[in-house]
Amino acid sequence: MRHVLRNVALILGISTAAFCQAPSAASASSNSKSGFTPANLDRSVDPCVDFYQFACGTWRKNNPIPSDQPAWESFTEVYVRNQQILRDILEKQAVENPKRSVVERQIGDFYYACMDEKTINSKGIQALKPELDRTAAIQNRDQIIERMAYIQLLTGPSPVFNFSSSPDLHDASMVVADLDQGGISMPDRDYYIKDDEKTKTVRQAYLTYLKKSFVLAGQSEAQAADSAQTVLNVETDLAKASMDRTVRRDPAVHDHKMSLNDAAALAPNLQLVKFFKFAGVPSFTSLNVENPEFFKQANGIFMKYPVDAWKTYLNWQMINFAAPWLSDPFVQARFEYRQSLTGQKEQQARWKRCVDQTDNSLGEALGQSYVDQTFGVEGKQRMLKMVNALEQSLDKDIASLPWMTDATKKEAKIKLDAIRNKIGYPEKWRDYSSIKISRDDFLGNYVRAAQFEAHRQTNKIGKPVDKTEWDMTPPTVNAYYSGQFNEIVFPAGILQPPFFTKELDDAINFGGIGAVIGHELTHGFDDEGRKFDPQGNLRDWWTPVDAREFEKRAGCVADEYSAFNAVDDLKLNGKLTLGENTADNGGARIALMALLSTLQQQAKTAPSEDPLTHKIDGFTPEQRFFLGFATVWCENRSDEYSRFLVTVDPHSPGRWRANGVLQNMPEFQKAFSCKPGQAMVSANACRVW
């Protein structure tokens, strides 16, 4: 179970180079500033009425959404800088030179092949034809299972279900095989089963994308229409069998370890024993089945449709997987469908997409050059110092909680002390040398890189967990906490404005990167993270009375955020966003504690002016902390994108990541002299941590 600062990129299938695609430096607003500046403020607004508008109003006015974006956020400028740095690296390494190292040749040739639009367009669907022909040759259900196993090992497609590996929920030191629901191509089951007008519009756009793709693949208009409806029918049945995203937030619902024979008995028609043999994965006798009910229903769904229908479905899995890297008509058809989800007006420049995919496929190869240019030892040490300050604050917060008994506090401290901190980049770099990279076969490169990753994951089965591994690449502008690893991870890409600005004061930086660190630490104790022990095992270490007290406070947060509007009259799903909202609230609170502790230490040696009262730009340190905090969440979003995120994203919109937190903080209200009854003073303030 992993909590990221932002995970929209993963939901959309975008490279994890960043949580949000950003425009080039040339297309970014000329008014955009790096991190906090008083010029971003809207001083016509009372900070006690709408602090988000006060802190971000002028920034939002001066930073409209670029045409190649679904949203524009204050800190996507970090990504703009990263994109250009990565592009410069790749353009240099794409030039054939016998002096290139193996790593430089791999990333350079991968990028070169991706940028070779002429070759890609000349191949069209022929680039994928060998895979489609293999599916066309299928004659029976046994061969369907064999083909499913092959496609599964491409990581992108997951026909019918997902198969991979994960730490054992009850022995986090070992890796087990893992089966889960899957098989759908739209971002969430709701897009298949809800019947409101907005959802039906997206569903129709998906059906149009299906039909266009099948026509481009060589079918007649009538055949393509039939194929599109067949795929939608199959995926709708799989969606109906799938568990709701909000329910899946509870780690306990994923806990179904069983023997291989028992798993196979859930869905005898899927022939799981044969599937694993065809997949060529390490042998195992037990595995975790995350949603057994799904497999019981999939067993019937598999027999409901004839072999030809499954051949159509499997071909779609391959076409959709390859579409971003086929000829332009496929790329455009896919983009037009995605527009219905995000409202993005135009496709991104190819170089941006190729930079992202190089990072996605060969991230720890590309990341080596990135780290050399941007991070260094100084950045790592500075970050570790702040992490230490935040951990001390969380320790004090836990110790002082009035609602938690000493027995649970003792266990919480043990877990906090056991959290590992990964900063900047991995201790050892991943070796991609076994991947064949060709300068004239980008789709082949893309598939082989996907196969490499799929095999890398399944080859872990039955082995000890490698605690040194990272789930994000160094250039990533993001961070995460993993409950099963009990670790917080901060890639080098995030240690930049507006998160951290070395030229600015501690107050701004603790409001930025400090609150992010606090956010990730708090995830270890949110409604999901609290269910894992210091070793990453799913174990209840809470006393019953403390668990009840926690649930009461978490319920307050869920109800509070469920009352917030996302767009128009559409409310947030407070239960889906509960973990992130808990982390936002707790992270801000302990970051402020860390700032005040730091300033108190500085005051002991201050020659004259007290750091605790020293104003900058007319604001006290506490006020600047809150301004730095809100600056991180300044954003503009399209309405389509906002609706999409309510369905799939466990994070709240920027407005509520700022205002929702601050209206719960008496420290904020004191800093800005807010009065009871004003909007930024919650009448029923929620607090967990």
Indicate which residues carry an active-site annotation.
520, 584
* β pairing state of 286-289 and 171-181: parallel
Taking CA atoms, 202 is separated from 159, 186, 199, 216, in Å, by 21, 9, 5, 21
Question: DSSP letter string over 378-416?
Answer: HHHHHHHHHHHHHHHHHHHHHHH-TTS-HHHHHHHHHHH
Which letter, b or e, does each residue of 191-205 get, where b requires 16 or more Cβ atoms within 10 Å of its Cβ?
A: bbeeeeebbeebbeb
What are the two backbone dihedrals, phi and then psi, of residue 336, each rounded to the nearest 5 degrees? -60, -40
User: In the numeric block, which tokens belong to residue 639?
Assistant: 């309405």
What are the two backbone dihedrals, phi and then psi, of residue 503, each rounded to the nearest 5 degrees? -80, -15
Distance (Å, rounded) from C-alpha 399 to C-alpha 396? 5
**Which is nearest to 254 in space by CA: 10, 483, 505, 569?**
483
Distance (Å, rounded) from C-alpha 512 to C-alpha 635? 15
Q: At residue 328, what is the residue type?
A: D
Distance (Å, rounded) from C-alpha 411 to C-alpha 18? 35
Give one word for 568, left, alpha or beta, with left for phi > 0 and alpha for psi -120 to 50: left
Strands (E), 268-353: 286-289
Coil, helix or strand at residue 4: strand
**8 Å CB contact between 366 and 86:** yes
**8 Å CB contact between 162 and 181:** yes
**Which is nearest to 359 in space by CA: 36, 121, 89, 657?**
89
Count of C-beta atoms within a 10 Å radius of residue 159: 23
Distance (Å, rounded) from C-alpha 327 to C-alpha 319? 12
Q: At residue 233, what is the residue type?
A: N
